[in-house]
Structure 1
């Protein structure tokens, strides 16, 4: 078996049959998302995720354990594994109960959703770091902001030359309130984006998906993810409601803006295959002018 082999629908159906009696191959449909794992709809109520290599297997097993730790503690639903194991030698899988809701990429996040995200940030900070790290969640040092800013400025020039970025926005990269210091490390989802946030019909956050990249580290990374997902203005509201000060909010904006420029630049140069419409939307959201931006950058 090679590292690249994907599971077949028949293999996924066989894995699910003990937990979902009566499921067959016809009930299994690929989702087409995931970096180091393949994701499948199983019927109408379950999702199967199969790791494609040993590193992905380690992260997937760790995610299942981490979701067990945070599931009742962070104020928003996370997927629950109803079966797990290996779909092939050394390749992990989990069969999760499907959560209700619509991807935040497809709908807006209203006030109720913002309140849920703020509560999640508060409660994530209360999860003991030692408990998360005991499950294998790695510590991660805060990213070096001067280096990020230099690379982002270079990316802005190349992206603007292709008509994909308004150079007049560039002053927003240097948010006046940003501080070099960061808060003590907390548990961080570390990959918040629209497709990982589910929104219920009443506006609540009905699910936060894919915890495979979780770390203990800089909580501003999650605020940056919220800016990329729902916009900089909403992200600042969420962060302030969660008790973040101006410096931490500003650092999060810088992270989001640096990342969206770098990702779009890489895509335009053929170094990434992410969908261009998604990257453009994420950049627009992260670069919204906020109350923290200098007047000339608004």
Structure 2
């Protein structure tokens, strides 16, 4: 016998009618009659006398109702108290950089097992770091070149930058293919200065990093064709030959720990992607970004208790990346 069986018997007892009880519990009269008969047969008792007017409790039925009513009251009180306790439990606030929202499924098991309500806050990476430092967020998932020293964080994977463009712009870069980066670097930057670029809007974290690199390397204003806050649109515009853009590819391994200058002796590569598109890895120009899972320094517990490494981050690198920025 389960809880619903007990409630069914209580309903029949209260209404003194199989027909009326059937309407209340949304079952057929025959289904209720059969269920009660099965209970009576299983426990060897008779709960109801069937009469022309309906049903009446037997002596056994009256005794059963007395204890069943007490048991149901205790169960309902326990459920209500549990709900009240959960409502009082502290809300855990998790900040997530907007492009990383699809990664949340990796954390669901941890937060579900630890109970308590979870509030998701989407924002930019710098804003998440600031709120972690203030203590207005408990945890954060974001991308950054390096982690601020006062935040406890675990690097999950890195994002490498690429130039992404249609084959229309390929002739501008073909002379550099398979040559040493140090030999063609200045010519590549000059070629890039003369081509239309599709960039994130001002104020977006990745745009701030791109602007710093361009100011340092270009020595002047680049040719900006389009600015947009939609990453999918950046890629679509590049595929429609509005210009070149920058995308990132997620690499599920430890950071190389290398600066752009460390790649000067490597080969300049152009990678054909099909569909009339190509990309150029830019480790010699842009530093890799790390994606971190971090905890506010204001929380008493430590990240050691969170098995981030069991969340499934160590997986093969995906195919050609799509823009991931915020």
What is the TM-score of this pair, normalised by structure 2?
0.19
What is the TM-score of this pair, normalised by structure 1?
0.21
Question: Which has the larger share of strand?
Answer: 2
Larger radius of gyration: 2
